[in-house]
Amino acid sequence: MKVALDFRASRVLMLAFACVSGACSVTPVQVEDATPSSVEAETSINRSAPRVLSPAKFENDKAKAASDALLQQAYEQYDQDRWQRAVHMAERGLRIDRYNARWHLLLAKCYSRLGDGKRAQEFASQGLAYAPSGKTSLRKDLQALMMGTKP
């Protein structure tokens, strides 16, 4: 039994060796592109091309410190019922960090307080598009505002 296994293993290894050695003699194939005006053929097929939208996980790394500091100030205004001022600060925050759903949440809350339910729902909907997936309190609050209820 042990001899049979050893023989099988050695055949696999030999096969693997043959494949590897065979690969050394294979040159990369030039891929033709149907578009005559395309760039160098090898890069025209998107494998890790930097110039197209990346399928990698979306990372929101924009200006986190600035955004966080401003968010704190904006919520101070909100807590003092200065909703218009909070709206202005939230728009400023979005200019810095437009994918940060916490700004959309603040805007939705402000407009809800200001009696503009439609606008509150619009911002809540947009925030949901950008909020990280999963059952987070952020998503829960945005969903509530989108339904027209208070979080």
Partner 1 sequence: MVSKTKIRKKHNASMPAIKRWLIGALVLSIFLSLAGVVALDYVVREKFEGKKWSIPARVYARPLELYVSKPLRSQSFEYELSRLSYVQVERLTAPGQWLKNSREYKVFSRGFDFIDGQEKAKKFSLKIESSRVSKLESFSGEDLALLRLEPLEIGGIYPNHPENRTLVSLLDVPPLLGETLIAVEDRGFVSHYGVSPKSILRAALANIRAGGVVQGGSTITQQLIKNFYLDSRQNLGRKILESLMAVSLELHYSKAQILETYINEVYLGQSGAQGIHGFGLASQHYFGRPLIELNSVQIALLVGLVKGASYYNPWKNPARALERRNLVLQIMKDGQLLTAEDYNAAVRLPLGVVTRSRKKLQPYPAFLELVRRQLLQDYEESDLKTEGLAIFTTLDPQAQHQAEKSLSQTLNTLELEHSLTKGGLQSGLAMLALGSAEVLALVGDRKVQYSGFNRAIDIRRPIGSLVKPAVYLAALGEGYSLSSLISDAPVAVRGPDQSVWKPRNFSRQSHGDVPLYKALASSFNQATARLGMSVGLNLVESTLQASGLERSFAVVPSLLLGSLELSPLEVASMYHTFAADGFYTKPRAIRSVQTPQGETLKRYALRSERRFPSSTIYQLNYALSLVMQDGTGQRAKLRNEAEQRVTAGKTGTTNNQRDSWFSGYDGDQLVSIWVGRDDNGITPLTGSTGALRIWADLMSNTPGRSLTMAKPANLEYYWVDSVTGNASGENCRGARLLPFELGQQPQKKSRCEWRKNPVIHWWRKVWQN
Binding site for partner 1 (CB under 8 A): 16, 19-20, 22-23, 26, 28-29, 31-35, 37-39, 44-47, 49-55, 58-59, 61-63, 65-66, 68-70, 73, 77, 84-85, 87-89, 91-92, 94-96, 98-99, 107, 119, 122-123, 125-126, 129-130, 133
Exposed / middle / buried, residue 83 (Cβ in 10 Å: 0-12, 13-18, 19+): buried
Q: CB of residue 3 vs partner 1: minimum separation in angstroms?
A: 28
Task: Report yes or no: 83 and 114 within 8 Å, Cβ to Cβ.
Answer: yes
Q: How far apart are CA 12 and CA 5, in angstroms?
A: 11
Of the pair 75, 130, the CB lying nearest partner 1 is at: 130
Number of DSSP helices (H) and strands (E) in the chain, helices first:
7, 0
CB of 8 to partner 1, least distance (A): 19
Six token digits for residue 53: 């939208």
Nearer to partner 1, 31 or 147 (CB): 31
